[in-house]
């Protein structure tokens, strides 16, 4: 018997996707600023600010990954947005860790 019920929106997946996109965009931008600052020598002056901002958005990526993971469960919901949000959240955390290793 085919499933005739219409699919319901996955609000956790949508929230994960939006938060993941925002987090990875800002962590990449902050990492780019940190790389330029490291090359030009002004990173020690504003490094603490970039670390706080990057850490905040990396935490947002962690929350996006958790929301994406919880969005995978549930009946009759599309899981595509939850999967993409989960992947973006995990990539954000890894990108922040890679930037910290590269700038030190």
pLDDT in tens, 75-104: 888 889 999 999 999 999 999 999 999 987
pTM to 2 decimals?
0.88
Per-residue pLDDT, 97: 96
pLDDT at residue 3 greater than cutoff 70: no
Q: In this predicted model, what pLDDT tens digit does every residue of 20-48 receive, in sequence order?
A: 999 999 999 999 999 999 999 999 999 99
Collect contacts of 58-61 with beta carbons under 8 A, ≥24 apart: 58/23, 58/27, 58/92, 58/93, 58/95, 58/96, 60/19, 60/22, 60/23, 60/92, 61/19, 61/20, 61/23, 61/24, 61/27, 61/88, 61/89, 61/90, 61/91, 61/92, 61/93, 61/96
Q: In this predicted model, what pLDDT tens digit does every residue of 43-82 receive, in sequence order?
A: 999 999 999 999 999 999 999 999 999 999 878 888 899 9
């Amino acid at each position: 018997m085919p499933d005739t019920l219409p699919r319901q929106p996955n609000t956790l997946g949508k929230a994960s996707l939006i938060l993941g996109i925002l987090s990875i965009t800002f962590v990449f931008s902050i990492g780019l600023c940190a790389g330029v600052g490291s090359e030009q020598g002004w990173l020690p002056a504003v490094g603490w600010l970039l670390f706080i901002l990057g850490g905040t958005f990396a935490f947002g990526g962690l929350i996006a990954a958790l929301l994406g993971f919880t969005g995978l469960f549930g009946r009759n919901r599309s899981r595509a947005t939850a999967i993409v949000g989960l992947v973006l959240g995990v990539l954000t955390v890894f990108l922040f860790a890679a930037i910290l290793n590269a700038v030190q």
